[in-house]
Copies of this chain bind each other. A is one copy, B any other.
Amino acid sequence: MPSYTAPTKDLQFILHNLLDISRSDIPGYADLEADFTAAILDEAAKLAEGVLAPINASGDREGCRLENGVVYTPSGFKEAFEAVKAGGWNGLDIPEEFGGQDLPYLMGSAVGEIFVSANMALNMYQGLTHGAISAILAHGSDEQKARFLPKMVSMDWTGTMNLTEPHCGTDLGMMRTKAAPQADGSYQITGQKIFISAGDHDLSENVIHLVLAKAPGGGEGTKGISLFIVPKFLVNADGSLGARNAVSVGKIEEKMGIHGNSTCVMNYDGATGYLVGELHKGMRAMFTMMNEARIGVGLQGYAQAVVAYENARNYAVDRLQGRDVTGVQNPDGPADPLIVHPDVRRMLMDQKSFVEGARAFTLWGASLIDRAHRSEDAQADGLISLLTPVIKGYLTDKGFEMCVQAQQVYGGHGYIEEWGMSQFARDARIAMIYEGANGVQALDLVGRKLAAEGGKPIMAFFDLVKAEIRESEGDQRLEGFVTTLKAASKDLQAAATFFMERGMKSPNDALAGSTDFMHLFGHVCLGLMWTRMAKAAYAELDAGTSDRDFYDSKLATGRYFMARHLPATALHLARIRSGSDTVMALHADQF
């Protein structure tokens, strides 16, 4: 069975050495002293390692089942869910008035990585609930907040997001689910939704569905869409559960992975729903959930790579196979451990340098969300809005790739389910698809975010990179980092310029390069993170740390990323510059 040990030390490094949070001016950050965050992370680690991770593989094997309309989660999920509940983890970053602890979103993300690495399928029941809470917090009425939030924060009730229908996923304008207004101000919701994660299950007393549907009078396409709360059980004014609502599970989908999460077809047959926010402004309300969800999904992508890497490393240290070509390392054994072989190391270094860079990137992104919300900082808001599709798209593409590579370290054993490496790859695969397939993220990045606010956010990003380069240029030891970052960021600027020049007269030229741009951008972000981490590592070494090994390893890992991965920006730029001619040359029949 695979192991999981939470990387609390590296999380602490990022929180305190890289982001230096306790000295940040973001409201609430001053309380985040190293001892305090360590205590939180250690507690999360204990739960993840002892309770969540041990049922990850069995949950995959057993899956969910639907019997007589009731969904059952795998053995042990109920008990583990109760343990998460009891720890109050879902309310970590929710306002106190609804039962939360009002810590920054950043801490929710750090803990989130730990829970997702340990058991992604189980964590999704909580993650979807958290997303639904955010939407109600942002758009619900005071009455709705009071009625639904406390029970959702405590996870007595869980939440879902209902967007997709059989004939429409990305293109929500084609939605058919209808909302018919009733005399009492409620709506009758009728239609079918598919791919509903955590759609129904036996973990909570009630499920609060957030459902997009079309109410009369809104016009064509997405304009007519509104957001509704549709509880599985109606909720009485005193908060007690009332009648069963007319919503039911059509079936559970058989998927490639995340078998422990019940992905349901949900049928709404005149179910009672309550409008959230303004009528016909449902898309906006849903986007509140989706932006948070997208960063959460980016986190899933790299969090699976984290646990896959941990196991690949352990296997490479334990498994004896072949001899070091430069000289026997394990003379008393029948062979040397796998880790002596350069190509195995290459794979491990790919994974290590990616997951540590991705962790820094995601937590930096989370701190931008806190700055945007807690400090009401518009520039931070613009920046995280720009970076969200990069976090989602780049980290999930690469996260999956790294899971596949970790599996590869195992050779034949990687293909056998018993060893658990297949599950990490299969589970990670969904993150490239849901909450907007990665192609849609790339489209969002190039088609909307790049030109947003007249390009202010992308300019702000370039300014950040330039400032970093300027600041670090003086330090000889950082030269390798700075030179590489500079070249990569030049490629990013060239790509952005290419889009700006071509985008208006030939939109296809921009769109044909959108995925390459997302990856180019992701590389630069990780290059920026590695430059900053190198600086932070040198600071500790200069200060005479007693843990030289950790900081030396950090520097070597960063150097690997800069040498081996950052040069990919040139390839992405070359592809972008090749434009759309070769992409669009064929007519549909020629494929």
Contact = CB atoms under 8 A, between A and B. Distances in A.
Interface of A: 164, 167-171, 173-174, 194-195, 253-257, 313, 316-317, 320-322, 325-326, 334-335, 337, 339, 341-349, 352, 400, 404, 407-408, 411-412, 414-418, 422, 425-426, 429-430, 432-434, 437-439, 442-443, 447, 507-508, 511-512, 514-515, 549, 552-553, 556-557, 559-560, 563-564, 567-568, 570-571, 574-575, 578, 580, 582-586, 588-591
Contact of A415 (B430, B552, B585): B430
Contact of A432 (B168, B408, B507, B560): B408
Contacts of A438: 408
**Interface pairs A-B: 6 shortest CB-CB:** A342-B511, A556-B585, A553-B590, A256-B422, A560-B582, A342-B512
Contacts of A322: 170-171
Contacts of A344: 439
A456 to B, nearest CB: 23
B417 A256 contact: yes
27 contacts: A169-B411, A170-B321, A195-B412, A254-B416, A255-B416, A256-B416, A256-B417, A256-B425, A316-B591, A317-B591, A337-B588, A342-B508, A342-B511, A342-B512, A342-B514, A343-B439, A343-B512, A344-B439, A346-B583, A352-B591, A400-B404, A404-B429, A414-B433, A559-B585, A564-B575, A564-B578, A570-B570
* Interface core residue of A194, A321, A345, A556 (most chain B CB under 10 Å): A345
Contact of A437 (B411, B571, B591): B411
A321 to B, nearest CB: 4
A443 B346 CA distance: 13
A297 to B, nearest CB: 13
B584 A342 contact: yes
A568 B194 CA distance: 39
A575 B589 CA distance: 39
Nearest to A317: B588
A342 B580 contact: yes
Given A556-B586, A580-B342, A582-B559, A434 B412 contact: yes
Contacts of A334: 174
Nearest to A574: B567
A408 B313 CA distance: 29
B584 A345 contact: yes
B195 A507 contact: no
A432 B414 CA distance: 11
Nearest to A353: B582
Nearest to A324: B508
A560 to B, nearest CB: 4
A571 B512 CA distance: 21
A412 B571 contact: no
A482 to B, nearest CB: 16
A416 B259 CA distance: 11
A445 B442 CA distance: 37
Contacts of A429: 404, 407, 415, 425
A512 B346 contact: yes
Given A342-B514, A343-B512, A582 B349 contact: yes
Contacts of A415: 255-257, 429-430, 433-434
Contacts of A437: 408, 411-412
Contact of A412 (B433, B574, B585): B433
B508 A326 contact: yes
A515 B346 contact: yes
Given A411-B169, A586-B553, A326 B416 contact: no
Given A171-B335, A415-B433, A507 B591 contact: no
